[in-house]
Amino acid sequence: MRFKAQIQNITTFTKFVASLTSLGPVAWVRLNENDVRFTIIPEQGTQVWAVLAIDAIFEGYTIQSAAENVINLEVPLGPLHQALKSALQATAASIRLTKKDNIPLLSITIVRNSIGNARQSASEDDDGGIGIGLSRERETTITQDVPVRVLSPSKVEGIHEPRCRDPDVHIILPPLMQLKSISDRFTKVALESRSVTAGLSAIGPRLEMAANMHGCLRLGIKTDAMKMASLWTGLDNPELDPSHLEGGMEEIQQHPSTRMKQLGGPDGQSEEGWAKVRLDGKDWGKVMSVGRLGGRVIACFCHEHALILYVYLPSERDEEESALTYYISSYSA
């Protein structure tokens, strides 16, 4: 079993891992010849299934395993994130799967110019003592060992990405910074009001989120002392691409979102044609952590059922896109 690669886009990889870290401590990582997949399935809360195109992050990617060159690992995200953070200033960084003291590790080796570079050192060289090439003379090497567990193919074969019915409304979310800032405030309000009437309710604060096919998104919360809602208008409802649907144009005609679009007035302010979900405020706050990647986010609303977010990593190359998919269940009222 072999895996090693140069990490060429450390910043994106670090942000990617940071986004996932908020959702769960451990990820199932599946490496193969085409891509790297990170999946987090927490006992409660949002699932995320992420695909990284190899080119988006790595260089010189090599993988080998008895199981058709697929390696499945369980990786603790906190330590991985910490290790990657120390690579942000690196001149070079690489990652490989190795074993020390019988523990499998993802070992990240980081080379950076030592901070003493500016200092003049008169004595080296002539002494001829150290015998290390001059170019490496001023480098600091940092090795970060992240302990992992190797999963056998049988252990992961039963895990499948959730399936969901066609969404009623799909919409491009406003900048997540806005959305996060407002939803975090709502959650805080709800938590505060609960602490006043402490213990009365075991349920976490519920945010109500709704959108229509006329570019409107609404986020709201209700407590004993107040009712609060923010409304965005003028957002984009992306067109469905007939080439991606089996039934082509005909299926689009039948698509629930097409029917939803017929509901509600053109200004989108009517109460009809909205698809609504109820989210756990704290869990949603964790999902919003993905905003750091700065990608485009399409939200798909299945009314009273689920919210699915597709977060696309910004990339220069348009081919194989890297994306994170969040599956968020709606709570009942």
Positions 75 through 114 that interact with another protein (CB under 8 A): 75-76, 79, 82-83, 86, 100-101, 103, 109, 114
State in angstroms the smallest separation of the CB of 50 from another protein. Answer: 18
Residue number with CB closer to another protein (119 or 163): 119
Q: Choose, by CB under 8 A, the member of 229, 253, 259, 272 that binds another protein.
A: 229
Q: Does 316 bind another protein (CB under 8 A)?
A: no
Q: Choose, by CB under 8 A, the member of 167, 256, 268, 291 that binds another protein.
A: 291
Q: Does 42 bind another protein (CB under 8 A)?
A: no
Q: Does 296 bind another protein (CB under 8 A)?
A: no
Site for another protein in 153-192 (CB under 8 A): 174-178, 180-182, 185, 188-189, 192
Computed on alpha carbons and rounded to an integer, the radius of gyration of the chain in Å comes to 24
Q: How far is CA 65 from CA 36, 144, 155, 273, 287, in A?
A: 15, 23, 16, 51, 33
Q: Please give the single-letter amino acid code of residue 95.
A: I
Q: Determine the angle formed by the axes of helices 10-21 and 77-85, rounding to 10 degrees.
A: 150
Alpha-carbon distance of 231 to 206, in angstroms, equals 17
CB-CB contact of 149 with 76 (8 Å): no
State in angstroms the smallest separation of the CB of 301 from another protein. Answer: 19
Residues contacting 184, CB < 8 A, separation 6+: 285, 288
CB-CB contact of 201 with 213 (8 Å): no
Residue number with CB closer to another protein (146 or 302): 146
Bridge-based pairing state of the strands 35-40 and 47-53? antiparallel
* String of DSSP letters for 266-300: TTS-SSSSEEEEEEEHHHHHHHGGGGGG--EEEEE
x/- mask, another protein, residues 185-224, rule CB under 8 A, reads x--xx--xx--x--------------------------xx
Q: Does 43 bind another protein (CB under 8 A)?
A: no
Site for another protein in 21-40 (CB under 8 A): 25-26
Site for another protein in 244-273 (CB under 8 A): none
Residue number with CB closer to another protein (183 or 257): 183
Q: Choose, by CB under 8 A, the member of 88, 226, 238, 248 that binds another protein.
A: 226
Tokens found for residue 300: 């798909």
